[in-house]
C-alpha cells in the first residue's frame, strides 16, 4: 500500500527516528485506500465540491449552473432576501460574535426571542439554542443520562445521537428501524433494571426519507415511564400542514414528547441546534449542559437568520405546501420510471437505491454532465447493497426541474443497468 501514500501526501518530509507517523497508521491507510478505489475506477472524487453561491434549487460549480439536489435548504430560507436583511441588521447591531458563553456575558435579546419563537411554534413551554445540531444531540443526551440508565434508539439513528449515547455512559440498545414493537420488547425485558430510560427516534430519516410512527412511541413512553426524544432535524418546516413537524403531522399533543430536538441548519437557513421542552428541562440545560455552558453563544447572524426564517414559515406556510407538492411529484415520477425509492414516504428526501457504490458514483457523474447535481451515498456511509443517490427536495424547485431530473436519471440508470447486467 506504499504507493497510495507516495502519490498524495508530503512524502519528502524528513521523519525523525521514533516519531509517530500518522501517515502509516491503520486509520489513515484505510481512508487512503477507500479514496483510491474511486480514483482507480477513473471517477472524480465527489467530496468537497466547491459551490460558488447560494445552494437551493440551483447551484454554481466551476462557473456553470446546475439543477441542485444536494442541499437541505428545504424552504429556500438561505438566500431569501428578508432573511439576509435581518441577518445583516443583526451584525450591524451586535457584531459577528457574542464573544462569550451566554451564561456569563454573551446573552443578547435575539437569543431569547429565538428560543421563545421556537417554543411557541412547536407548542411547548421553552427552548434552548446551541451552536451546532450535532453538538446539541451529543451534549444533551451525553449530559442528561448516565450509568444506570438505558437508552433505546432506532437502528438508523444519526451519528450525533449515537455519539451522545456513548458519551453518556448509559446502556445503549438499538431497536429495528421504525419498529415500535421491537422497542416495546426491550422495555418489557429491561425497564425494571434501570433508573431512567430514554427512547430516541427521528422525525424524518435523512438517508431514507421515511418517518417514525410517533403515536406508538408516545404510548410506549407513557406505559413504561420513559423519556421520549424526537430529532426533528429533517421534519421541522417539512412535516405537518404548517411545518410544525411530527406532532402536527400526527395530531399528537407536543407536550407528550419530553425532548424535541431540531436543527436550524435545514428549514431555518442558519446553523445551530435546539431543544424544546418543559420549563424545568430547559432551565436545567441552561445552567448545566456542557455544550452550552462551556461554549460560545449562538452568533448574532445565526440567531437572526433562524428567527427571520421562522417568522417567514409562520407567515407563509405556502412554502411548506410547495415543498410537499414537489416531494410528492418527485416520488411519483421516480416510481413511475421504475426506480427504487426504498422507504421514501412523501418527505423531501428521496433516495434512489442503486445497490453498488461505483455505479452510484458513475450515475451521479452522468447526471452532472446533463447539468444535474446530486450526491452519491456510498459504502461505508450505507451498506454496499444500499448504495444510492439521495435527492433533497426544496420548495424552490420547479415542476420542470423535477421532470427533467427524473427523465435524465431514468435514462442513465437504464443504460448503466444494461451495461452491467
Binding site for ligand PMP (CB under 6 A): 132-134, 137, 158, 160, 202, 206, 231, 233-234, 263, 265, 273
Q: Is 127 helix (H, G, I), strand (E, B) or coil?
A: strand
Q: For ligand PMP, give the closer residue by CB, 135 or 339.
A: 135
- What is the nearest approach in angstroms of ligand PMP to the Cβ of residue 394? 15
Contacts of residue 325, Cβ cutoff 8 Å, sequence gap at least 6:
none
Q: Which is nearer to ligand PMP, 158 or 221 (CB)?
A: 158
Query: What is the enclosing helix (H) or strand (E) of 198?
Result: strand 197-202
Q: Which is nearer to ligand PMP, 247 or 263 (CB)?
A: 263
Q: What secondary structure does DSSP assign to 310-353, as a single string?
A: HHHHHH-THHHHHHHHHHHHHHHHHHHTT---TT--SSSEEEEE
Reply yes or no on whether 266 is catalytic: yes
Q: 266, 270, 364, 397: which is the annotated catalytic residue? A: 266
Provide the 8-state DSSP code for 298.
P
User: Closest CB to ligand PMP among 133 and 348?
Assistant: 133
| Region of residue 274 (left: phi > 0; alpha: psi -120 to 50; beta: else) | beta
Exactly one of 108, 134, 221, 234 is catalytic; name it. Answer: 234
Strand order in the sheet with 64-68: 58-61, 64-68, 372-373
* Grid coordinates of 282: 430547559
CB of 61 to ligand PMP, least distance (A): 21
Annotated catalytic residue: which of 78, 206, 265, 357?
206
Nearest position to ligand PMP, beta carbon: 133
Encode burial over 292-320: b for 16+ CB neighbours within 10 A, e otherwise.
bbebebbbbbbbbbbbbbbebbeeebebb
Distances (CA, A) of 143 to 137, 232, 288, 359, 403: 10, 20, 8, 42, 47
Q: How far is the CB of 159 from ligand PMP (least distance, A)?
A: 8
Residue 182 burial by Cβ neighbours in a 10 Å radius (0-12, 13-18, 19+): middle
- 30 noted as active-site residue: no
Least distance to ligand PMP from the beta carbon of 136, Å?
7
Q: Phi first, then psi: give them for residue 141, nearest 5 degrees.
A: -65, -45
Residue 27 has φ and ψ, to the nearest 5°, of -65, -45
CB of 133: closest distance to ligand PMP in angstroms? 2
Separation between Cα atoms, residue 403 and residue 333, nearest integer Å: 8
Kindly state the DSSP code that residue 148 receives in the 8-state scheme: T
Nearer to ligand PMP, 162 or 320 (CB): 162
Please check whether residue 75 is in contact with residue 320, taking contact to mean a CB–CB distance below 8 angstroms: yes
Of 145 and 205, the one with the shorter C-beta distance to ligand PMP is 205
Question: Measured between alpha carbons, how far is 287 from 202 in angstroms, rounded to an integer?
Answer: 26
Query: Cβ of residue 81: shortest distance to ligand PMP, in angstroms?
Result: 23
Nearer to ligand PMP, 135 or 183 (CB): 135
**Residue numbers annotated as active site:** 206, 234, 266
Amino acid at each position: 500500500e506504499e504507493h497510495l501514500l507516495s502519490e498524495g501526501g508530503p512524502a519528502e518530509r524528513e521523519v525523525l527516528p521514533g516519531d509517530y507517523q500518522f501517515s502509516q497508521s491503520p486509520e489513515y491507510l484505510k481512508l487512503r485506500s477507500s479514496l483510491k478505489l474511486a480514483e482507480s475506477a477513473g471517477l472524480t472524487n465527489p467530496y468537497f465540491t466547491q459551490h460558488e453561491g447560494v445552494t437551493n434549487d440551483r447551484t454554481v460549480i466551476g462557473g456553470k449552473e446546475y439543477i441542485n439536489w444536494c442541499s437541505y435548504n428545504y424552504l429556500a430560507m438561505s438566500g431569501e432576501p428578508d432573511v439576509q436583511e435581518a441577518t445583516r441588521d443583526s451584525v450591524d447591531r451586535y457584531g459577528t460574535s457574542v464573544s462569550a458563553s451566554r451564561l456569563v456575558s454573551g446573552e443578547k435579546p435575539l437569543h431569547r426571542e429565538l428560543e421563545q419563537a421556537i417554543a411557541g411554534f412547536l407548542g411547548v413551554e421553552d427552548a434552548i439554542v446551541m451552536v451546532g445540531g450535532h453538538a446539541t444531540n451529543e451534549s444533551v443526551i451525553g449530559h442528561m443520562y448516565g450509568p444506570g440508565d438505558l437508552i433505546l434508539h432506532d437502528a438508523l439513528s444519526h451519528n450525533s445521537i449515537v455519539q451522545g449515547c456513548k458519551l453518556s455512559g448509559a446502556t445503549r440498545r438499538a431497536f429495528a428501524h421504525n419498529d415500535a414493537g421491537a422497542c416495546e420488547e426491550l422495555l418489557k425485558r429491561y425497564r425494571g433494571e434501570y433508573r431512567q430510560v430514554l427512547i430516541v427516534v427521528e422525525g424524518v430519516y435523512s438517508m431514507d426519507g421515511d418517518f417514525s410512527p410517533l403515536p406508538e412511541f408516545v404510548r410506549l413512553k407513557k406505559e413504561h415511564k420513559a423519556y421520549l426524544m424526537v430529532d426533528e432535524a429533517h421534519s421541522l418546516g417539512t412535516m405537518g400542514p404548517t411545518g410544525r413537524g411530527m406532532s402536527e403531522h400526527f395530531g399528537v399533543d407536543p407536550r407528550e414528547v419530553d425532548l424535541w430536538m431540531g436543527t436550524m441548519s435545514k428549514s431555518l437557513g442558519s446553523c445551530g441546534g435546539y431543544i424544546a421542552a418543559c420549563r424545568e428541562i430547559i432551565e436545567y440545560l441552561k445552567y448545566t449542559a456542557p455544550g452550552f455552558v462551556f461554549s460560545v453563544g449562538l452568533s448574532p447572524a445565526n440567531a437572526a437568520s433562524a428567527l427571520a426564517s421562522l417568522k417567514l414559515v409562520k407567515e407563509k406556510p405556502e412554502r411548506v405546501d410547495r415543498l410537499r407538492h414537489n416531494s410528492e411529484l418527485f416520488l411519483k415520477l421516480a416510481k413511475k420510471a421504475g426506480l427504487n425509492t426504498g422507504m421514501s414516504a412523501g418527505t423531501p428526501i428521496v433516495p434512489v437505491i442503486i445497490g453498488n457504490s461505483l455505479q452510484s458514483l458513475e450515475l451521479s457523474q452522468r447526471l452532472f454532465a446533463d447539468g444535474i447535481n446530486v450526491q452519491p451515498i456510498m459504502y461505508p456511509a450505507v451498506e454496499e447493497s444500499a448504495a444510492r443517490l439521495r435527492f433533497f427536495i426544496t420548495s424552490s424547485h420547479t415542476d420542470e426541474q423535477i421532470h427533467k431530473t427524473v427523465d435524465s436519471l431514468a435514462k442513465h440508470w437504464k443504460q448503466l443497468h444494461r451495461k452491467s447486467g
